[in-house]
Amino acid sequence: MEQNTKTTQFDEKYMRLALAEAQLAKQRDEVPIGCVIVKDNCVIARAHNLKETVQMASAHAEVLAIDMASKQLGSWRLTGCDLYVTIEPCAMCAGLIYQARIRRLIYGSADPKGGACGTAMNVLENSYINHKVEVKRVRLNGPAGSSPALSAMSK
């Protein structure tokens, strides 16, 4: 899957909101990952990692945001939704993004250790699956783009 690298003002806006969620995670001594889900240019869900807080392995930002968005829309099918996350999703989250029928995945920083959207592996690029997710990496300029929330995962 060839990744789209053209950044729009909307992508930057929503990635900055995801970074704000990552900062909330950091304040709670969680891995600083934040996620925002957008439909029709409206934020319908936002979340950050809570694995340590709730002692649950699946409490990743993407999982929590997808659950919230599904409740908001009254459907597990999140067609027409875009998911912004500060770090490239793991295999579990990439699988859930596919299952939820997310239209676009926009992430900030690659994860060479566990990124499952093109870096360490690619769950979303599979000729056997029936839903295609557009994957895009957004690199922000300035203080938010060089945030500790993004650099913490590369260590």
Report residue 88: phi and psi, to 5°: -55, 130
pTM: predicted TM-score of the whole model, two decimal places: 0.88
Tens of pLDDT, residue by residue over 26-47, are 999 999 999 999 999 999 999 9
Q: Which amino acid is at 19?
A: L
- Return the pLDDT at 130: 87
Identify the band that residue 6 occupies on the pLDDT scale cut at 50, 70 and 90.
Answer: low
Q: DSSP letters of 89-126?
A: --HHHHHHHHHTT-SEEEEEE--TTT-TBTTS-BSS--
62 part of the active site: yes
- Return the pLDDT at 2: 44
- Return the pLDDT at 7: 60
- Return the pLDDT at 147: 45
Distance (Å, whole) CA 121 – CA 9: 29
Identify the band that residue 85 occupies on the pLDDT scale cut at 50, 70 and 90.
Answer: very high
Selected catalytic residue, list 12, 21, 62, 88: 62
Look at residue 144 and tell me whether its pLDDT is greater than 50. Answer: no
Distance (Å, whole) CA 94 – CA 39: 19
Assess contact for 117 and 94: CB atoms under 8 A: yes
